Structure 1
């Protein structure tokens, strides 16, 4: 009897399919270098704690700090809360992305423990 090639079975094709789906999922939900989708984003004021998790910020009245953002060409073009930020203010912000539909921006260059505005795609 001759040896049969591994490619003669379904197993390598299943592994390739699983790897493709996992790679696609990672790119869309986790990759920090994936370009952001163009459109509108709903945003919340957050505190990024020392483990990188978000804690929602609230004002003195107990309300969440909310904003909206607009992304065009993968770049942040507008951020509006109680007031809008100017283009000069937008360029001074550090944008940290996660996947193609989530990012947060901050004016604090710290690696851990800082206030930010976290935005999720809403279009």
Structure 2
């Protein structure tokens, strides 16, 4: 599984990359802004994209909506340090295939969402 991670926290990006690589996921790149993410996803064509809901001054919801409208085919999963119920309506209305709390992030959690999709 080839994955891109989009998050504005460099420490989280490093930790998530390390965890997922240890669990057999190929992290083809990371991005901290919507502009970086758009270019990276177009170039790397990942199998799945993990997008933080809060990208500093930018919105993960807006990013995945734009990517989806532009024809991105990789399934997108929203991630956050906040609880899923805090964003349940927005997650349901988004083109994301699901949500994973940052504290629950794992290759298994990603695969379960992909399998359900």
TM-score interval for Structure 1 and Structure 2 normalised by the shorter chain: under 0.3
More helix by share: 2
Q: Give the TM-score normalised by structure 1.
A: 0.23
More strand by share: 1
Q: Give the TM-score normalised by structure 2.
A: 0.24
